[in-house]
Amino acid sequence: MRCDFADSLLQGYFDGELSGCRAAEFERHLRHCAHCATELVDLDLLRDRLQLAQLYEPATAALRRKINAPLHAIAPTTAVSRPLVWHWLAAAAALLFVATLLWRVGHGVRGDDYQAELAGEIVDALVRSQQPGQMNVIASNNERVVEGWLDGRARFAVPVRDFTNDGFALKGGRVDVIEGHAVAVLVYERNGRPINVFIWPTRERDSPPRTGSWQSFRWVDWRKGKKEFCAVSDVDPADLEHLHQLINSSA
Amino acid sequence: MNDFDAEDRLRFEQLVLPHVDAAFNLARWLLRSRADAEDVAQEALLRSYRFFRGFHGGDARAWLLQIVRNTCYTWLEKNRPMELSMEFDEELHLQTCATPETLDRKRLTMALETLPPRFREILVLRELEGCSYKEIAAITAIPIGTVMSSLSRARRQLHSAPVNSLQGARP
C-alpha cells in the first residue's frame, strides 16, 4: 500500500529539503514503512540513471553566437531610439525630488506632513512617467517648436535656447507639476547625458547660483527675471555651471 | 553607447549570461526540440536583456528561468496548443519504451518528453538544473507542496521506464 508520506516528506527528505528536525522525524517513520524505504532506493536509482544518461543539454555554440551578436547591437539601439523618453522617465522621480526641495526652500514651506507630501510628489511623478503617449513631452531640437509647445501648457513664458554650438544640445521639453504648480522643463544633452532644467515663475529677486547634490545628481539653482531655474544632472559640475552661464546670459 | 548602458551590459553579462545553459536546457525540455529551444531561448534572453532594469538583484538564474519558462509557454500556446492539455498517459509511455535495444538515454528522454509539461519542467529544474524547492516554486509560481507532489508523480512515471537498459546504455 502506498504511504501518504511518499508524495511529500519522502521527496523532501530525498532532496535534502527537510529541516533537521523533520528529517529526523521522517527517519523514524522510515524504520517502520517498507513502502517509503523501497521508494527511497528507487529515487536514488532514478537519479543515478538520469545522471548517467547525461540529459542536461547545454546551450549550443550557435545560440551563444546568436545571443552575443544582438546584445552588441541592442544596447546602442535602445539608447539611440528612446534616449530622451527613457532618461527622462528614469530620472523623473529623482529630479523632481531635487526640484521639490528647492521649491520648498524658495517658498519657505516647512510642514509636519513634509514626508507624506513628498512621497505623494514622487508617486505622482512615477504615475506621470508611466502614462502612455507621452502627452507632456516634446522631443525637438528646434527652439521655436519647443517654446511654442511649452507656451500652451506652462502658463508662463519660457525662454528656450539651443546651445548646440557650446556643447549643450537642446533635446526637447516637458511640463511637470511641483506642489500643484506647473513647471516647465527643458532637456539638454551633454556628452550623451541629459540635463534637465526646471523653470518656474517666482516673485523673488534675482539670485546668484546655489549648488548642491542629491544621490548621484547635482543641481545648480538661480533666479533671474522673476523666474527660478534649476539645472539637474549627473554630468560634471563644471558643465552645469557652464550651462547656467549660457542660460543666464541669454535670458 | 553611454556609461549607463555599458554598466548595464556588464552587469547583465556577469549575472545573467552564465545561465545560458540553464535557459537552453529548460527550453529544450519544455519544447522537446533543440531547434525550437534555440529560437525560444534566444528570444527569452533578449527579452531578459530588455527588461534587465527591472531585475533588482537576487537569484538571477531563477529570474532568467522564469522568463524562459513564460516564453516557452507562450510559444507552445501559439504553435502547439494541444501539448498544454497533455495528461498523464502511462500506457503511451510504456509503448514508446518497448524496444529493447534503445539506449537508456533515449528511453529516459522519451519518458521525460511524455510527461505533461508542468510535471516535466519541475523534474528538469530539480534533477538536471539542481534547483531547490524554493527556487522551483519561484520559477513556476506554484506552492512548495505542489512542487513536492508533482516531483513525486513525475519521478514515479520516469522510474517505470525499463531499467534493464543500463548495460545497453554503454557502447
Report the C-alpha gap between A155 and B135 in whole angstroms. Answer: 54
In a domain, residue A67? The reply is no
Q: Assess whether A95 and A185 both reside in one domain.
A: yes
Q: Assess whether A25 and A98 both reside in one domain.
A: no
- CA proximity to A213, closest of A114, A102, A58: A102
Mutate to test the interface with A, among B28, B115, B135, B160 (most CBs of A within 10 A): B28
Range of the domain at B148: 87-171
**Other Cβ atoms within 10 Å of B88 Cβ, number:** 14
Q: Assess whether A242 and A140 both reside in one domain.
A: yes
Report the C-alpha gap between B92 and B98 in whole angstroms. Answer: 10
Range of the domain at A197: 82-250
Mean pLDDT of chain B: 81
Q: Assess whether A49 and A86 both reside in one domain.
A: no
Q: Assess whether B171 and B159 both reside in one domain.
A: yes
Cell numbers 504648480: residue: A181
Q: Which residues in chain B are contacts of A49 at CB distance < 8 A? A: 104, 108, 163, 166
In a domain, residue A61? The reply is no
In a domain, residue A19? The reply is yes
Higher-confidence residue: A79 or B151?
A: B151
The reply to whether ipTM tops 0.85 is no
Q: Assess whether A39 and A120 both reside in one domain.
A: no
Q: Assess whether A33 and A135 both reside in one domain.
A: no
Task: Check residue A92 and give its pLDDT.
Answer: 52
* CATH value at residue B141: 1.10.10.10
Per-residue pLDDT at B139 exceeds 80? yes
Task: Check residue A15 and give its pLDDT.
Answer: 92
In a domain, residue A77? The reply is no
Task: Check residue B115 and give its pLDDT.
Answer: 92
Each residue's pLDDT expressed in tens, for chain A with a length of 251 residues: 678 888 888 999 999 998 888 888 888 998 888 888 888 888 988 888 888 888 899 998 888 888 876 665 544 333 333 333 334 444 454 556 566 656 655 554 444 344 444 444 434 443 444 444 444 567 788 888 888 888 777 778 888 999 999 999 998 888 776 655 677 888 888 888 878 888 888 888 888 888 877 656 677 888 898 888 888 877 888 999 999 999 988 86
Report the C-alpha gap between B148 and A8 in whole angstroms. Answer: 5
Q: Which residues in chain A are contacts of B159 at CB distance < 8 A? A: 42-43, 45-46
* CATH value at residue B69: 1.10.1740.10
Task: Check residue B119 and give its pLDDT.
Answer: 94
Task: Check residue A125 and give its pLDDT.
Answer: 46
Q: Does A55 touch chain B (CB under 8 A)?
A: yes
Residues in CB range of B66: below 8 A, 6 or more apart: B138, B139, B141
In a domain, residue A214? The reply is yes
Q: What share of chain A is helix, strand, coil (3-state, %, to 5)?
A: 55, 25, 25
Question: For A205, phi and psi rounded to 5 degrees?
Answer: -75, 165
Q: Assess whether A105 and A227 both reside in one domain.
A: yes
Q: Which of B66, B85, B104 is the last residue of a domain?
A: B85
Q: Assess whether B1 and B65 both reside in one domain.
A: yes
Is beta strand A137-139 parallel, antiparallel or unpaired with respect to A207-214?
Answer: unpaired
Average pLDDT of span B1-11: 66
Per-residue pLDDT at B24 exceeds 60? yes
Mutate to test the interface with B, among A3, A11, A52 (most CBs of B within 10 A): A11
C-alpha cell, A238: 563644471
Helix, strand or coil for residue A137? strand
Q: Assess whether A121 and A158 both reside in one domain.
A: yes
Q: Which of B56, B85, B114 is the last residue of a domain?
A: B85
In a domain, residue A110? The reply is yes
Task: Check residue B91 and give its pLDDT.
Answer: 52
Residues A57, B9: C-beta atoms closer than 8 Å = no
Cell numbers 538564474: residue: B61
Helix, strand or coil for residue A44? helix
- CA proximity to B138, closest of B41, B61, B54: B61
**Other Cβ atoms within 10 Å of A43 Cβ, number:** 21
In a domain, residue A69? The reply is no
Average pLDDT of span B69-95: 77
CA distances from A222 to A106, A175, A216, A237, B79 (A): 10, 19, 20, 15, 61
| pLDDT band at B170; cut points 50, 70, 90 | very low
A8 near B148, Cβ under 8 Å? yes
In a domain, residue A63? The reply is no
C-alpha cell, A149: 509647445
Task: Check residue B118 and give its pLDDT.
Answer: 92
Q: Assess whether B64 and B31 both reside in one domain.
A: yes
Could you give the number of structural domains in chain B?
2
Task: Check residue A89 and give its pLDDT.
Answer: 40
Could you give the number of structural domains in chain A?
2
B41 near B68, Cβ under 8 Å? yes
* CATH value at residue A177: 3.30.200.100
Task: Check residue A116 and give its pLDDT.
Answer: 42
Task: Check residue A130 and give its pLDDT.
Answer: 42
Question: Looking at chain A, which residue has its C-alpha nearest residue B48?
Answer: A71
Mean pLDDT is highest, among B53-62, B71-80, B101-110, for B71-80
Q: Assess whether B80 and B99 both reside in one domain.
A: no
Q: Assess whether A12 and A123 both reside in one domain.
A: no
